[in-house]
Structure 1
């Protein structure tokens, strides 16, 4: 999801609370459940719809009610359906031997001119003609096809493999040879009728932004009201786009819609899937994104997903299935500074995306305390300018200084203010697009501003339009969710990092740049932040690699990008839990030297090791019988999977470190080559690679090795030890992070 302003929440909180109480459901209400039945059966017999109807009739006991309760059937790429059920009916279905899982439908949330140059993918980068045959599927809020980023001039017809459709509707008259497919899914009528078009049209802006980041054509002179001016383009500008609209204003992104989109996209013939959507991590067989991406992986389709926006807190990472490419967000070497000049001549610089040019040299300046209304203290923190604390008469026409918030510009605009200076409790790297002239300053500068306000009878200030400035990069964005994950403890997530902070890309002109209906600024490009913005960068990078290696599996492409990533300078408390293997380096990834490939049978062995039911695993792959976990080679080692990174979690009582990782690499570099291992590890952590030399005499040959990790008890207060394994033949550098994480005991 992109990081949008949430300052209107205070204004409408009581409305939401009342609506929630009114709509609370009971055990006597029928609610939508997803009934997942695994892969499609190869054999002839009754139709999928008849099978679903029969199951429902038996569970409900009334054929008519069963028919009315069914909402949707999945039957193109996997088997399942959605039905409105009572809890006891859902329980009966979960006990049927043909059913893998039954889970309630939930709503999930949505998690440039510079970024591709920053990543080394310049306009003159070598590309393959096959790039135009690649179809990138985007599951999002729809698409604004009139954007110049989706101009199809010079494009031929869609590739012959394409089987998808283009659904028309309000504000969406059809596709073209760039955007070759568009569908929408709204099975539970989640949208807002006043703000949503029931069509593939994007009335939010998010889907247009992510789509153009991945595969938009080059547009010269792109900017947001002159900010970040340059040529905007996607990572694979020759690739095609297929939009699957699954998210709605006010309604989020429904599980059943997500699964329907996956079901279609896999069948339609897409090559990559980009999903900038997330929710709380769940068991893989109860998670629609994990389920959909598993079936995509079986068909050779890699799914890129955002890691979430709940950072910098540990344990917040989402979309953690090992077959998903989980993406963290980083900043690039550009930031947006907004300067303030005070009446005493002092100047302060903050951050924001402020598109407004001042009309006067100076404006009256006040703060929350001076602008308080008579009853303000009864409503909230007046120093923070909380809604309800300020007097409209004391705010109108003035710039207002607010303490401890980056989201009060909406409140000040609502009261008729001329601008706002917001002092942050902690340093922030997010430049929000503001509703009126505004900037966010660090606490130290805020104290100086407040002192000035209290030192004179006529305080004044002016806020200047934002300008761009250079900064040191890359770095993990503060909002980007961190590991460790809680589902499969010894798989490191996120996998990789990509630009997601202050990204300029195409935007829908059916919505204002802030999304607020009172904001009249409509623009073809917008600057927004989130792991949502990082996700399509990685989808595009994967598409770029695939254009050179169309026969590579999703795991091989993922490995190529992970092992060639640029390790980042990281905070000790985050380590690779924030950035995974590092920042993507797509140019290097097309020649990785070695790849860690993962077969379907390896994933199945991994699921066995993780304790998943053999019957459910059999259904997952379409087998008629229970999957016998002993029929495959057991998943060996600490993590049980041939993953490009290595990770182990220790509980708080663990006394020593002991782990063994078994790995197999495939030679995709030069036929005759010798790779030698080197390890960089911290004091107290021993890492041994056996063997430490791998010899290859031909392409595609596989060689195996093991990594033995040992260590004494961690020092008190230490939770992370980080090492790096590198295989090198002097021409290639194949890097894998090795991370040990220990849960620290709670203090007190």
Structure 2
């Protein structure tokens, strides 16, 4: 192996010191980043796809030195030397911007040889990861953000399942504001994605499938940026959908919608695919890394990655580090599997987002002469008073009471249902929305959906006006109907309740023995109104759930900050998003800094900046002192040091205190006076753990900077 290492180093040294040689080699480009239908099956059989990450940064992490084309060619020559040394085939992908590496099919001996080479940081097998939007819905639609402006000139890169471009949320409208200045991406045409699909709103679109494999796609999947799944469309609409778009479900007008940053532009990087078996859907890591590398090269300002995290600081996490080194604000999902996994994307360069409960849209069932019961609804108007009947009592002959009880398709007798409100039990392997379809087909006026065991109440978009009751209210209704077999009821919406102060149970929390506080923040992650592809659906709208929805919300908030403060670095944006959040019950390692507040993030008072190169020095255990993150995790030590910078634009006094801790916590100094752009270092000392709370800095102009602190005593 020593001979291999010497060859690699000599080639790299020659490339970096011989500009003429580099320029002469520029005619031999890397393998194209995006696959076409003709070249997706070129890899030899009998080997597995692996990701090979070389030591050191990609171009995004280089400071000074040769011009970018020369440096890129040097990286390619280094890669060529490694490939030749192990007699590897042509790689499926090469990465030179966010990462220095490649994806290639390798046998066991080749993997072992590369892992033994000091020039190689990681060799890992390619895997398919799930999207982070598969958790069950838990509340009612949060609705669009009441914002008509924000995000102009900012590009959000969506690494996801693509986009359904026909929605008015992604149309070229006059009020988009100034154009992006540094974005240089392309619109990659395909049979179902002509180049004119891109516009001033959707400024770029690419797709990557070599890792997943075109031969593994579901029938009808589009080898193009078109969204086959709906997940990418949902998240793009939440983050940056155009404002003022009317939401209609059937003949019902729900209201108007707008994304968090409605003037932001979108760049689509499709790296997530559908398979014949939905359990095999997902995103190959090699496709994800290639999408990130391309997005950074294109010049996005915010990067949204709503996929499951891998193990430690793998190729994807290092690619996200490269994005941060290019001053991209990176936002990623914590994950939806709190029982089995800690929060994904553990790097300090990522704003990792957990899911908090969203606002709840409420509906009531008013029983004539009886109680009024409250549940969840997406309906806007009122129904009734109308006769109330149990599904089990109006079964079509031959269907059976049990199927009619759960309102299975075809189980209800139209002669007994027409004009009435049907009470349907939840469950029975019948989807909630399919129950209301059965009521609609039987000419029913409405539905009351009742839980028969503990569970959520969900404001789905039903086929008839519906109120969903929990088990307790369902039992009250059942007892009332037993005494009033001809009873009548009125269904009506009664407004939206504020979001409850809690993190959703399935949202993954942080590792108490980890390196950092994760997640960084939480955001609405249940029942978030969003657009979906219209094909095969009753309406082009649905309710998104999962830490993916929360991630998209946060990406939109990051775009607002990048527009409002164009001179702020990505680390300043990351700090401002976290330190202006509001506390949420559950502890720091479940909630991070708390619930994201986009309206407050523009005035953080103080920010925690990270110097260029510090992230990589931290990863390589070469950083002198603490990494300046806007959170503190103390494992086996009692003191941490951070530095804050005044971004108010004026000289201010800032005072500090500790809150929420059970034990004694000291912050020194207790107060500082800082001029515009000036910095001060502070130290946090704790008496014992486990414990958690917040260090708070209050500014003279009313700003509040909250830093979450977790003390675990475990490593």
Structures share fold, TM-score greater than 0.5: yes
CA distance in 2, matches of 1:109, 1:44: 35
Secondary structure at the aligned position of 1:597 is classed as coil
Secondary structure at the aligned position of 2:514 is classed as coil
1:469 equivalenced with 2:477 (yes/no): no
Aligned residue among 229, 237, 242 for 1:217: 242
Post-superposition Cα deviations, 1:32-73, rounded to whole Å, max 9, x if no partner, equal: 2111225347666967566545534433x5x6xx24xx3222
Alignment of 1:279-318 (within 5 A): 279=309, 281-284=310-313, 286-288=314-316, 290-311=317-338, 313=339, 316-318=342-344
Query: Does the 8 Å CA contact 2:511/2:589 hold for their aligned counterparts?
Result: no
CA distance in 2, matches of 1:94, 1:548: 45
CA distance in 1, matches of 2:588, 2:397: 46
CA distance in 2, matches of 1:396, 1:287: 58
1:189 equivalenced with 2:213 (yes/no): yes
Aligned residue among 600, 604, 617 for 1:592: 604
Aligned equivalent of 2:13? none
Alignment of 1:554-703 (within 5 A): 554-568=570-584, 570=585, 574-609=586-621, 629=622, 632-633=623-624, 635=625, 640-649=626-635, 659-683=638-662, 685-696=663-674, 698-703=675-680
Specify whether residues 88 and 176 from structure 1 end up closer, same or farther in structure 2 by C-alpha distance, changes over 3 A only.
Answer: same
Post-superposition Cα deviations, 1:439-482, rounded to whole Å, max 9, x if no partner, equal: 643222344456678x59x9789998773632133533525514
Give, in angstroms, the shift of residue 566 of structure 1: 2.4
Aligned residues: 630
1:266 equivalenced with 2:278 (yes/no): no
Give, in angstroms, the shift of residue 344 of structure 1: 10
Q: CA RMSD in A?
A: 4.1
1:725 equivalenced with 2:704 (yes/no): no
Secondary structure at the aligned position of 1:297 is classed as helix
Query: Does the 8 Å CA contact 1:306/1:327 hold for their aligned counterparts?
Result: yes
Query: Does the 8 Å CA contact 1:373/1:391 hold for their aligned counterparts?
Result: no
CA distance in 2, matches of 1:672, 1:596: 17
Post-superposition Cα deviations, 1:155-186, rounded to whole Å, max 9, x if no partner, equal: 58953422111012243222011111111111
Specify whether residues 29 and 344 from structure 1 end up closer, same or farther in structure 2 by C-alpha distance, changes over 3 A only.
Answer: farther
Give, in angstroms, the shift of residue 189 of structure 1: 2.6
Give, in angstroms, the shift of residue 74 of structure 1: 2.2
Aligned equivalent of 2:101? 80
1:137 equivalenced with 2:157 (yes/no): yes
Query: Does the 8 Å CA contact 1:474/1:583 hold for their aligned counterparts?
Result: no
CA distance in 1, matches of 2:315, 2:485: 55
Query: Does the 8 Å CA contact 2:377/2:493 hold for their aligned counterparts?
Result: no
Give, in angstroms, the shift of residue 689 of structure 1: 0.9
Aligned equivalent of 2:138? none
CA distance in 2, matches of 1:145, 1:740: 47
Specify whether residues 396 and 99 from structure 1 end up closer, same or farther in structure 2 by C-alpha distance, changes over 3 A only.
Answer: farther
Specify whether residues 314 and 255 from structure 1 end up closer, same or farther in structure 2 by C-alpha distance, changes over 3 A only.
Answer: closer
CA distance in 2, matches of 1:235, 1:206: 17
Query: Does the 8 Å CA contact 2:153/2:178 hold for their aligned counterparts?
Result: no
1:151 equivalenced with 2:171 (yes/no): yes
Normalised TM-score (structure 2): 0.77
CA distance in 1, matches of 2:709, 2:337: 24
Query: Does the 8 Å CA contact 2:98/2:320 hold for their aligned counterparts?
Result: no
CA distance in 2, matches of 1:475, 1:371: 48
Alignment of 1:474-553 (within 5 A): 474-479=500-505, 481-485=507-511, 489-512=514-537, 521-523=538-540, 525-553=541-569
The runs of 5 or more residues in structure 1 that have no matched partner are 1-27, 377-381, 513-520, 610-628, 651-657, 715-719, 744-748
CA distance in 2, matches of 1:366, 1:446: 15
Query: Does the 8 Å CA contact 2:383/2:492 hold for their aligned counterparts?
Result: no
Query: Does the 8 Å CA contact 1:136/1:274 hold for their aligned counterparts?
Result: yes
Query: Does the 8 Å CA contact 2:606/2:646 hold for their aligned counterparts?
Result: yes
The runs of 5 or more residues in structure 2 that have no matched partner are 1-44, 60-65, 133-140
Give, in angstroms, the shift of residue 259 of structure 1: 0.6
Give, in angstroms, the shift of residue 295 of structure 1: 0.5
CA distance in 2, matches of 1:79, 1:304: 21
Normalised TM-score (structure 1): 0.74
Give, in angstroms, the shift of residue 738 of structure 1: 2.2
Query: Does the 8 Å CA contact 2:244/2:256 hold for their aligned counterparts?
Result: yes
Secondary structure at the aligned position of 1:676 is classed as strand
Give, in angstroms, the shift of residue 98 of structure 1: 2.2
CA distance in 1, matches of 2:514, 2:380: 45
1:445 equivalenced with 2:462 (yes/no): no
Give, in angstroms, the shift of residue 241 of structure 1: 1.2
Give, in angstroms, the shift of residue 435 of structure 1: 7.5
Query: Does the 8 Å CA contact 1:676/1:694 hold for their aligned counterparts?
Result: yes
